[in-house]
Structure formats: C-alpha cells, structure tokens
C-alpha cells in the first residue's frame, strides 16, 4: 500500500487555503509577484535571520545583514558560520528539485558544512526534538530514515493534495522523521519554501520564517500536540496562518512603497559623505519621534543598501553613526 501521511483537513484548513488563494490573486493582479531585487534580498536576509534565531542563533538582523554584505562582525564563530552557510544554501535553493533526495542532501551539506560531522548525510544515531530542555518528540530509529524520506518525497511528488496543504504536511512529516543529526528545522522550513516556489514563484522570497519565529513557542507546542494525536491538522493550520500573515505583510509593504521611497529620498538628500548620528539625522529631516524616524526613514534606507552603520557589529552602540554608501 502506498504511503500516506496521517492528516485531517478541517473547515479551518479549507478557509485558510481559500483566503491565501484570494490574497495571492490580489497580489498577482497588482503585479507584486514580480518582487523587485531589493525586496527579494531583504526578505531573504529576514528569512535567514529568523530561521537561525529559531535554532538559538544570537545574531541580530543588522549583524546578519552585515555578514552577508561581507562586513566584519563580532560574534560567536558558529553563529557567523551558520549565517554564511544559510546564505549560500538559500542562494542555490530555488534551482534544486524538491522531489529528489540528492537535492535534499546537497542542501543539508551547504547548510551544515563545518557545523556537523554528518553534513549532507542522514543521521547514524538517535535524535529528538527539544523545546528548550523539554523533549517534544523522539524521532524514528536511524535505519528507517532513508526509506521514510523516500516515501515522503514520493508522496509529495505524486499526491493530488493542494500544494499549500502538501507543503505543510511535508514540513511536519520531515520534522517527525528528523533525518539529520542537526539542521532539521532549518531544512524543513527551507524545503517547504522550495515546494511552494515550484508552485508559485512568489514563495521564493516570502519570509514565512519571520512569522514562525514570532510564534516559536506555539510552533513547538502544536508539533507536540500533533505528535500525540498522530494527526498534523493543527500544524497545517498553524503554518497556513503564518503563510497568510506573511503574504498580507508583503501586500501592505508594497502598498506603502511609494511613501517609504519618498521618506528615504528625503533622508538621502540631507546626507553628505560624513558619518552622522541618529540624532543628527533626525534633526536634518525634521523628525522628533525616534521610533517614527527609525521605522520610516532609517531602517528602509538600510534595508535598501543606501546607508550603513559605522559599527555594524555593535548596532546599539552609543557611538553608532550612519554613512551614505550610494545614492538613488
């Protein structure tokens, strides 16, 4: 009998799929699916930082951005290597085949190179999923891993289940099998992205991981509940909600794009070649409310690569200044 993962499609699942499809259609009609290169890059960096943070990487978004931009950052060596590996893996991800086991092993090799002795190989021993120090799930024995992954990939390739649901089921089942010594969460989230990208290109640069990171405790809790119930329904709904919220955020970002651009233009117009402090920049653009300035002027300019911090490895330093590195 062909392998079929145990999951239930609830009314909530159906409604979430319908809402996501409506939102995707709305975004495509606005031609937002042709995401501009700057937004692609920014979303990719957000994805990497969030996915690694879920696995206890300590680096901030600013530090991750600096590393990817080739800047020197002070931080734990392993955390820095995780960022470098993740960036290389995501750069090659969209060219991989989500239904080919060799592609999966290639991605793991890129992601975990020099971080585990078994990078690019299925685990040789037992492993479990932990939320802090609490064991959430004990994975199947190592000798069953390859067969179970082959069955899961075959099901994913041949099933007529809606791609949105299929990607969530794959994510859950992948974490249940836990095929690698380390990096399972990162690969599971990455592979869901790849499955969805092969269906709709917009998912290649949608930072769903950021939404998962904000709900990290629930992420592990729901997995534990589904594990005991032998049904991934709640995990599917959790991930579909994260996908919907990410798409909604993307649509809203595009809607305010003109406003943000005008504010960035104003900030760049008052900056010369000399580094300036946060307060100096606020005075030049005539903004007194620090959070407003940071959200609408400073962060968008940094995300688009127009200005950089003079001390990127210490983003909260009292001596921090900002310098313009390129014009519009």
Alpha carbons 305 and 234: distance in angstroms, whole number: 39
Alpha carbons 136 and 225: distance in angstroms, whole number: 9
Alpha carbons 118 and 183: distance in angstroms, whole number: 11
Residue 314, SS3 per DSSP = coil
Residue 158, SS3 per DSSP = helix
Residues annotated as catalytic are: 178
Strand partners, 307: 324
In contact, 246 and 211? CB cutoff 8 Å = yes
Alpha carbons 207 and 46: distance in angstroms, whole number: 6
Q: Is 244 annotated as a binding residue?
A: no
Q: Is 41 annotated as a binding residue?
A: no
In contact, 309 and 62? CB cutoff 8 Å = yes
Q: Is 188 annotated as a binding residue?
A: yes
98: Cα within 13 Å, side-chain hemisphere: 26
Alpha carbons 63 and 42: distance in angstroms, whole number: 13
Cβ neighbours, 10 Å, residue 15: 12
Q: Is 182 annotated as a binding residue?
A: yes
Q: What does the block give as tokens for 125?
A: 């021993």
Alpha carbons 77 and 85: distance in angstroms, whole number: 12
Burial of residue 200, with CB atoms counted within 10 A of its CB: 0-12 exposed, 13-18 middle, 19 or more buried: middle
Alpha carbons 56 and 78: distance in angstroms, whole number: 11
Q: Is 272 annotated as a binding residue?
A: no
Q: Tell me the C-alpha to C-alpha distance, in Å, between residue 233 and each of 157, 238, 267, 303, 316.
A: 20, 9, 48, 36, 42
Q: Is 183 annotated as a binding residue?
A: yes
In contact, 99 and 166? CB cutoff 8 Å = no
Binding-site annotation, residues for ATP: 182-189, 219-220
């Amino acid at each position: 009998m062909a392998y079929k993962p145990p999951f239930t499609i609830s009314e909530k699942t159906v409604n979430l799929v319908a809402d996501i499809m409506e939102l995707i259609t709305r975004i495509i009609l606005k031609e937002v699916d042709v995401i501009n290169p700057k937004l692609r890059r920014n979303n990719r960096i957000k994805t990497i930082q969030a996915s690694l943070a879920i696995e206890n990487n300590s680096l901030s978004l600013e530090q991750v951005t600096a590393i990817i931009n080739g800047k020197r950052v002070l931080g734990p060596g392993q955390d820095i290597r995780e960022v470098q590996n993740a960036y290389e893996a995501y750069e090659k991800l969209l060219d991989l085949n989500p239904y080919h086991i060799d592609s999966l092993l290639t991605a793991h090799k890129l992601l975990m190179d020099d971080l585990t002795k078994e990078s690019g190989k299925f685990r040789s021993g037992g492993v479990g999923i932990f939320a802090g120090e609490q064991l959430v799930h004990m994975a199947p024995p190592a000798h069953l891993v390859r067969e179970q992954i082959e069955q899961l990939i075959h099901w994913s390739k041949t099933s007529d289940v809606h791609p949105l649901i299929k990607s969530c089921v794959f994510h859950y089942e992948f974490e249940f099998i836990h095929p690698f010594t380390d990096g399972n969460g990162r690969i599971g989230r990455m592979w869901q992205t790849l499955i969805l990208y092969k269906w709709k290109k917009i998912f290649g640069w949608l930072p769903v991981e950021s939404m998962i990171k904000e709900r990290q405790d629930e992420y592990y809790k729901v997995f534990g509940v589904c594990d005991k119930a032998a049904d991934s329904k709640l995990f599917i709904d959790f991930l579909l909600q994260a996908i919907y919220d990410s798409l909604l955020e993307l649509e809203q970002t595009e809607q305010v794009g003109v406003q943000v651009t005008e504010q960035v233009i104003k900030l760049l117009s008052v900056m010369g070649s000399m580094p300036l402090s946060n307060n100096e920049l606020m005075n030049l653009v005539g903004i007194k409310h620090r959070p407003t300035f940071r959200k609408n002027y400073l962060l968008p300019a940094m995300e688009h690569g127009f200005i950089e911090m003079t001390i990127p490895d210490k983003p909260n330093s009292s001596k921090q200044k900002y310098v313009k590195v390129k014009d519009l």
